Amino acid sequence: MNYTNYQITLDITKIQSRVSVPVPQNDTARRFYIRLYHNGNIFPLPDGVRVVFAAEKSDGTVLYNDCIIENESVIRYDFTEQTASTVGKMKCQIRVYGEDGALITSPQMTVVVYESVFSAENIVSSNEYTVLNQLITEANGLIRDVNNKMANGELRGPSGVYVGSGEMPEDAYVQIDPTGTLCFETGVPKILYLDENGEFSLLNAGNGFDIENGTIVAVGDREALEKTVLLEAKVEDLLYKPMEILSFTLSVSTAEKGSVVSGLTYSWKLNKKATALYLDEDPVSTDLTSLTDSAISIRSNATFRLRAEDERGHSVTKNATVSFLSGVYYGKAAAKEAYDSALILSLTKNLRSNKLPSFTVTAGEGEYIYYCLPVSMGECQFAVGGFSGGFSLAATVSFTNAHGYTESYRIYRSDYMSLGKTTVTVS
């Protein structure tokens, strides 16, 4: 079958690429031919490097797939069943690994997967790691080799282990002193360990280890062990997403000065389940997504903090605040001989921390337009229909709101009555 081929160039000295490739959902007969450049010059691919196509799909699943090196300057990536399984934008990069473990990463490119009119089959999106599958195969091969050597008696020394103090014999890979501490031959980075259940695992050089329930069986060669370590690290890193608090809200976020907030519900949403969760440093069950405190009583501004930790100890916080605000009042009323709290309370209230920038009022026959706000918010300039003015300061009064809170207010009044429907801007 013929493939649809895309010729793509990426400069590794750039942060972002403008490359955006549209492909239909679920197509697999497509190939990328990618050339890497460095400041406009071809970036050579020496023997022994491994090239990986890494991508995050719109649903959060990831790809980490092997590429084919066509020649020293051309990389080929063949679409798999998972590559275009999910509609939406897919963020992609090319990662080049050297034999020494060094990494070069290309700038990000975008693959835009659009919905097909017809779909021959419903493919469920999932993570895909062809590179890791290969490494797993290599790791399993290492374990088979160790088992074969154990069976054939090829390991140096009694299971490659010398138990005792003093200088380690030449035929031993690992020395265990009488306290059970492991001592390693110079340059040996890891040991392969067989536990009582017959399961293999790796031990880091230099770590003390209790050998009571297991036997150290061999020291693997550096290259094979590094591949196994690379496998473990890549699986962990690819599947790891740092903890995020997507939202943290309160059942009440604003209240009027002088009032009391009795009872509060905290609600939150995380990108994954936390290993530890704290509300103002008090532990909270990680199974919860909301919590109600019916006993709390708040009379002034209060900030609450949610902290979440994940399996790597990464900790994030997010704050939510209950703010007590003053009212900005506007509306219509007849001319007044005296200006007082009763006039202000008869108008429309808007709880704010600053001026209400615009409002609309329909003033009938014999009615003025009023605008009242705390002195602390500053003096006001008005405009109607694009023309400045039209309002004057009528009075400054001591205003007591509906909850008994008192502060100084300015009362502005339109210069003319009976204006009909009027939109006013305030600065």
Examine the domain organization and report whether 293 and 332 are in the same domain. Answer: no
| Whether residue 396 has pLDDT greater than 50 | yes
List Cβ neighbours of 97 (8 Å cut-off, separation of 6 or more).
Answer: 49, 50, 51, 52, 103
What is the Cα–Cα distance from 363 to 418, expressed in whole angstroms? 5
Q: Quick one: pLDDT at residue 62?
A: 87
Region of poorest pLDDT, from 86-90, 97-101, 220-224, 285-289? 220-224
Partners of 304 in the β-ladder: 320
Q: Smallest Cα–Cα separation from 145: which of 248, 88, 75, 225?
A: 225
Asked if residue 38 is part of any domain, the answer here is yes
Whether 160 and 173 have beta carbons less than 8 Å apart is answered as yes
pLDDT in the model for residue 160 = 46
Q: How far apart are CA 264 and CA 253, in angstroms?
A: 10
d(CA 157, CA 216): 12
**Which pLDDT score, from 0 to 100, does residue 181 have?**
41
To which residue do tokens 């019916």 refer?
294
Question: Quick check: 413 and 332 in contact, CB under 8 A?
Answer: no
Q: Which two tokens stand for residue 412?
A: 């502005």
Residue 141: per-residue pLDDT: 58
pLDDT at residue 310 greater than cutoff 80: yes
Pull the structure tokens for residue 209: 């280890």
Return d(Cα 419, Cα 404) in angstroms, integer: 33
CATH number at residue 320: 2.60.40
Q: What is the CATH number of the domain that holds 97?
A: 2.60.40.3350
- Please report whether residue 349 resides in a domain: yes
The pLDDT value recorded for residue 275 is: 93
Of the residues 262, 297, 324, which one is the last residue of a structural domain? 324
Does residue 368 belong to any structural domain of this protein? yes
| 12, 84: one domain | yes
Would residue 29 count as lying in a domain? Answer: yes
Kindly indicate the confidence band of residue 205, based on its pLDDT and cuts at 50, 70 and 90. very low
SS3 224: helix
Least confident of 40-44, 135-139, 318-322, 345-349: 135-139
Are both 281 and 385 inside the same structural domain?
Answer: no
Q: Would you state the pLDDT for residue 129?
A: 63
Q: In terms of domains, do 393 and 301 share one? A: no
Task: Kindly indicate the confidence band of residue 242, based on its pLDDT and cuts at 50, 70 and 90.
Answer: confident
Residue 268, judged by CB atoms within 10 A of its CB (0-12, 13-18, 19+), counts as: buried
83 and 138 in a common domain: no
Range with top average pLDDT, 136-150, 200-214, 323-337: 323-337
Same domain, 376 and 309: no
Residue 159 backbone class (left: φ over 0; alpha: ψ -120 to 50; beta: rest): left
Q: Last residue of a domain, which of 122, 154, 174?
A: 122
Task: Write the secondary structure of 142-181 as one string of H (helix), E (strand) and C (coil).
Answer: HHHHHHHHHHHCCCCCHHHEEECCCCCCCCCCEEECCCCC
Residue 407: strand pairing partners: 399
* Domain contains 51: yes
Q: Which domain holds residue 180?
A: 133-239
Domain count, the chain: 4
- Same structural domain, 396 and 319: no
Last residue of a domain, one of 122, 142, 157: 122
58 and 102 inside one domain: yes
- Which residues, 6+ apart, have CB-to-CB distance to 24 below 8 Å? 84, 113, 114, 115, 116
Q: Are 420 and 362 in contact (CB under 8 A)?
A: yes
pLDDT digits (tens, 9 = 90+) for 250-270: 999 999 999 999 999 999 999
Burial class (CB in 10 A: 0-12, 13-18, 19+), 97: middle
Domain presence at residue 127: no
pLDDT at 225: 46
Read off the pLDDT band of 134 (50, 70, 90): low
Residue pair 30/4 in contact by the 8 Å Cβ criterion: yes
What local confidence, expressed as pLDDT, does residue 213 receive?
43
> What is the gyration radius of the CA atoms in the chain, in angstroms?
35
| Tens digit of each residue's pLDDT (9 = 90 or more) over 353-363 | 999 999 999 99
The predicted pLDDT at position 128 comes to: 65
Between CA 344 and CA 399 the distance in angstroms is: 8
Mean pLDDT of 174-194: 43
Who wins on pLDDT, 407 or 164? 407
The verdict on 421 and 372 lying in the same domain is yes
φ, ψ of residue 215 in degrees (nearest 5): -130, 130
Residue 352: is its pLDDT beyond 50? yes
- One domain for residues 10 and 105: yes
pLDDT value at residue 127: 65
Nearest CA to 188 out of 156, 164, 214 is that of 156
H helices present in 130-245, as ranges: 130-152, 222-239
- pLDDT tens readout for residues 143-181: 555 556 545 544 443 344 444 555 655 555 444 444 444
Per the model's pLDDT, the better-predicted residue between 312 and 202 turns out to be: 312
Which of 82-86, 216-220, 370-374 shows the lowest mean pLDDT across its residues?
Answer: 216-220
Distance CA 33, CA 7 (A): 5
The position carrying tokens 């300057």 is 73
pLDDT of 180 reads 40
Is there a contact between 419 and 363 (Cβ–Cβ < 8 Å)?
yes
Is the per-residue pLDDT at 244 higher than 80?
A: yes
- Model pTM above 0.75: no
Intra-chain end-to-end CA distance of the chain, in Å:
69
What does the mean pLDDT of the chain come to? Answer: 80
- How much is the pLDDT for 330? 97
